[in-house]
Structure formats: C-alpha cells, structure tokens
Amino acid sequence: EQAKPYVEQGRVFLEPYLANPNWPIIAVTLALVFPIIAIVLNVASQLLLPRDRTKPPTVFHLIPFIGSAVAYGMDPYKFFFSMREKYGEVFTFILLGRKMTVCLGAKGTNTILGGKLSQVCAEDAYTHLTTPVFGQGVVYDVPNHILMEQKRFVKFGLNTDNFRAYVGMIEDELDHFLNSEPEFAAYRKGGKEDWGHFDAFEQMSELTILTASRTLQGKEVRSQMDKTFAQLYMDLDGGFTPLNFMFPNLPLPSYRRRDKAQKAMSDFYVNILQQRRASKSDEVEYDMLASLMDQSYKDGRVLSDREIAHIMIALLMAGQHTSSATMAWCLLNLAVRPDVQQAMYDEQVKHFGAPNGTLRSPTFEELKDLPVLDSVIRETLRVHPPLHSLMRKVISDMPLPATLGNASEDQPYIVPKGNFLLAAPCITQIDPAIWTNSFEWDPSRWVDPNSDAARMYAEYTETGEKVDYGFGLVSKGTESPYQPFGSGRHRCIGEQFAYVQLGTLLALIVRKLEMKADKVPPHNYTTMITTPSKPRDITFRRRQV
Ligand code: HEM
C-alpha cells in the first residue's frame, strides 16, 4: 500500500520511454554503457587526478564500489604482501563501498589497536554483524565503558578454580566422543591395519562445542546439545558469515533463521536463569552463568537476565570457530610431523607415566608446564591465526605517526573520519624480516626460553607494559609482532580458557591417537575465520601402549 504512490510515479516517468518501440534496445544499451562509463571515470580519476598527499595511497581498482573485494577476500595475505610492496605499509583499499585503511607492521598495529577512544571505535566496525547474533545490550551494542565492565564480569568467571574443574570435564567429553562418534568408534582396536580417517575441522568443531558447553556454558546447555540447542546454534551461526558482515540485513531465509534462533536461544538462557534462581540448589556450578548471576555494574545495577543470556551467546560464538579452527590446524600440522607428535607423546610419558605403563590424567597446573605442548599451540596460532583482519571505524580525523608508511616527513597521513582501519597482525606473525623460516610451522622456535620468539611471547603475555582498561590489569601488547589474541582494550579475554581447552584436548588426543596426513591444506578465507580448505582429512589409529 505504502509503495503505491512510488509505483504510480515510476509508471508516469517511464510511460513516454516505453511508448518508443525501440525501448528494449535502448534499455540494454544503457545497462551496458553506464557500468562502462563508471569504470572509465573511476580509472581516469585514479590515473589523472593529482593524489591528495595528506591521505594514504588508494589501491588501484577497476570497478567502483567493488574495489579490491575479490583480491582481499580470496587471499588477504597475498593481497597485503603485494600491496605492501607497491604502496608501503599504509594504504587504503575499497571493499564494497567501504574505505579500508590498512596499517601493517608492529607500529601500524599499535596505531590501530592502541588508538584513542576519541578516534577509533570497534563498536561501529562490528555491531552490524554481532548485534543481530549476540542480541542487544552487550558487547558492541553498548558504549565502550560498558563493554569493558562486561569483560570484567566474564574474566571473573574465567578463574583458576573453574579451570581446575574443566580439565577433568574435557577429558570425560573426549573419551565419550572417541567412543561414540562413528568416525572414531569404528576404529577401536588399534591393530596395525586399523586406520580410520576424519575431517579435521568438522570433528574439531563438534568436540569444541561439546567441551565448551560442558564447561563454560553449563550442564543445561550441554544436556540440550544433542537436541534443540544444536539446531539453534546452527541457525545462529548461519548469520555469522562474511555475507552478514558486508550486508547486515538481506531478505534471505538465512537472515530470518538467524533472527528466530537469536530470540529462541536468548529465551533458552533466560529460562535456565529463572529455573536456577527458583531451585535455590546448593550445588556448586563452575560455569559462566553461575558467575554472571552474581555480577553488578559499578553503578550498582545488577546484570539483567537478558544481558546474561546475550553475553553467553557472545562467548559461545567468540570461542567456537576460533578454538575449533586452531584445534584443526594443530592436528593437521601434527599429522604431517610425526617427530613433533612423538615429542609431545614423550613429554606426556615423562610427566604422567605410571610404573605400569599407563598415563594418568593431567591437572590444570601440570598442563601449564608442558613446553612442547605449549610450543605447538603458539606456533599454530602464529602461522594460522583465526582472525586475519581486526577492524575499527575512524570517528574523528586521525593523523598517523609521521614514521608510518611512505608518507613524507613534513606531511604525515591523516585518515579521514568515516574510513575503517584494518590491523593485520597475521602479517607481522609471518614476516621474514622478523622470524627465521617465517613461513614454516616449527614449534621448536618457542622452546628455548632465550630465543627471540620466547622473548616476544613473554612480552606479549607477561613482561610487557600492563594497563587496566576496566577489566583488570592486562598486558597491553599492542606493539607485539605476535598477537593472535589481539591487544589493547579489545584484547581477547578467552585466551586462558582457549589454552585450557586446546591444551587438554591436544595432550589427550596425542596420547590416544597416532595421526598422519600428506600435507597441511591451504587456508580458506571465505569463512568468517581462517579455516583449513577441503580436503582436510587426517588418517589415524589408536595408539598402542
Ligand atoms: C576478542 C582471538 C578464543 C572471547 C578477540 C580478538 C582476537 C581474538 C584476535 C580481538 C578482536 C579485535 O581486536 O577486533 C581469539 C583466538 C581464540 C579466541 C585466536 C582461540 C584460539 C576466545 C574464547 C572466548 C573469546 C574461547 C570466550 C570464552 C572474546 C571476546 C572478545 C575477543 C569476548 C571481544 C573483546 C573486545 O572486543 O573487547 N579474540 N579468541 N575468545 N575474544 Fe577471543
């Protein structure tokens, strides 16, 4: 009904043209000519107009609006390396109408991730993707100081007591998984010829969500994992894709499923909270829900049930793909490196071997003290960090440091308000100028505590400058060439949990399985995070002890 006047206006406008018998030819010609004109004008403006020296150079592109979307989207590493060669460490590229200014190198990352709140804003860069999935009132749907408080609440739940309880729970889940999941259960004998195979990313996704729900998410979520919750998760996850990032709302079934699932999942958590309050049970819960129920903001306001529900969804989504992809990459690399598998296994025997030849269960404290295991996780996150691009929106014109990029000394670049900034610590993590054999997966680089890598790691996690952004004292880490968990005020709060989850699973999997594969598959960048491309099968058999 509302559209009627517009349709009528359109009809009146088109009538004289449609009266012309040649209108189809004219229409086709215009449809062909307009894009050509747009491309010609776009190219001419880049080649002929003098460049504004106050702004970083713009990557040359043929098609307006689309810009460099294809080159960046297909292989961001290749794109960043070749643009760095052409334009220096600072350049702007067009990504579906958005102006993305990339600042490479440790100093570039520091400028973006350590940027002032008055200049850079993560909320404006991410909210259109995350708020429809997480729900309102949390993370990037609230002002930054509220997010910092919410991170404080979550950190409170990610404590040593809880981690101690999680190690045993994860071990239980893994045992159950290997004995019940068809891919693994069919190969129990460990005989010489009893080799099976599994899709590394699919199986690790399942194991990650099972262990995260048993630990962080709580028993109610775990008990629904094989039932309704799994479907809700799938539908919600279908709304957390690069398409959703570029186009927050399209009239597509996946967007409708996302919105329905968000509401249903939010209600699901709110119901759990209400039931827990009503039951007044004395049972101690080590999960995040229990912890969030006790938290209040600095002004005294307690967290509402909706906020808790939406924080829980945010944690589920933030931890799922990052950890499952990391698990898959760890296993794929181990599968092609039997020597590293053996070193991990020997480490287990050394620490947990019983006189009768069996290996006892590890504890949280013991897992933290296994250098080979640690080095495998660190190295995997160096070569295959799940997030290749960290973004911020520029909210007031931002002069960059004079030394950044190919700017002339007397005229540093100014990134205009409205541009997006893109930090890519993934590039410094494999920069040949920083690392020996930088493209090689070589865990041994971390083991010597006096190595450059170990020193960088210590600075990123412990010895570097510490800042309290409102969620407790953390290593700032913004200038580190190694930062798989980001840095500054938006630094990941799941790092320790991820190490507990990954460490426990890896240690125990290496005890139980021998794995092999011909090669590590290439990165797939068309997913929201960097996943292994298919085929990504690992051949395995039960370890004979
Ligand atoms: C933020 C990586 C696991 C919760 C981040 C950021 C990175 C990252 C790079 C910074 C994003 C930015 O600056 O734009 C990882 C990796 C993980 C992992 C590599 C696993 C291997 C987890 C887990 C949780 C989690 C398990 C939850 C339990 C968060 C949250 C933020 C975040 C809430 C947002 C912080 C903010 O914007 O202030 N993560 N993450 N992450 N991560 Fe993680």
Q: In which band, very low, low, confident or very high, does the pLDDT at 21 lie, cut at 50, 70 and 90? A: confident
Whether the per-residue pLDDT at 2 is higher than 70: the answer is no
pLDDT at 544 over 80: no
Give the model's pLDDT for residue 19: 87
Which ligand 1 atom sits closest to the C-alpha of 487?
13
Stretch 391-414: mean pLDDT, rounded? Answer: 94
Q: What is the mean pLDDT of residues 234-261?
A: 96
Cα–ligand 1 centroid distance for 150 (angstroms): 14
Nearest CA to ligand 1 atom 8: 485
Name which residue sits closest to atom 30 of ligand 1, judged by CA. Answer: 492
Q: What is the pLDDT of residue 280?
A: 79
Domains of the chain: 143-386+429-542 (1.10.630.10)
Which ligand 1 atom minimizes the distance to the CA of 147?
38
pLDDT digits (tens, 9 = 90+) for 53-63: 999 999 999 99
* Whole-number pLDDT of residue 291: 94
105 pLDDT more than 70: yes
Return the percentage of the chain with pLDDT > 70, whole number.
99
d(CA 109, CA 115): 9
Beta-carbon contacts of residue 316 (< 8 Å; ≥ 6 apart): 209, 212, 217, 233
Residue 472 corresponds to which tokens in the numbers above? 């407790």
Q: If you measure from the C-alpha of residue 266 to the centroid of ligand 1, how many angstroms do you get, rounded to a whole number? A: 21
ipTM (interface pTM):
0.99
What is the Cβ-side half-sphere exposure of residue 163, based on CA atoms within 13 angstroms?
Answer: 23
Residues with CB under 6 A from ligand 1: 122, 147, 151, 314-315, 318-319, 322-323, 326, 381, 386-387, 390, 484-486, 490, 492-494, 497-498
Q: Locate the ligand 1 atom nearest the alpha carbon of residue 497 and give its number.
A: 26
Q: Which token pair is 333?
A: 């690399």
| For the CA of 391, the nearest atom of ligand 1 | 14
Model confidence pLDDT, tens digit, residues 406-458? 998 888 999 999 999 999 999 999 999 999 999 999 999 999 999 999 999 99
* Residue 284 binned pLDDT confidence (cut-offs 50, 70, 90): confident
pLDDT value at 20 more than 90: no
- The CA distances from residue 164 to 141, 327, 362, 399, 512, in Å, are 33, 21, 10, 47, 22
Instruction: Give the pLDDT confidence score for residue 8 in this predicted structure.
Output: 86
Contacts of 120 (CB under 8 A, 6+ apart): 112, 392, 393, 394, 395, 398, 421
Span from the CA of 475 to the centroid of ligand 1 (angstroms): 15
Distance 183 CA to ligand 1 centre (A): 30
- Alpha carbon of residue 308 to chain centroid: 22
Q: Is the model's pLDDT at 190 over the cut of 70?
A: no
Q: Please tell me the distance between residue 424's alpha carbon and the centre of ligand 1 in angstroms.
A: 15
Residue minimizing CA distance to atom 1 of ligand 1: 492
- What is the average per-residue pLDDT within 389-417? 94
Buried b (16+ CB within 10 A) or exposed e, 304-338: ebbbbbbbbbbbbbbbbbbbbbbbbbbbbbbbbbe
Q: What is the mean pLDDT of the chain?
A: 95
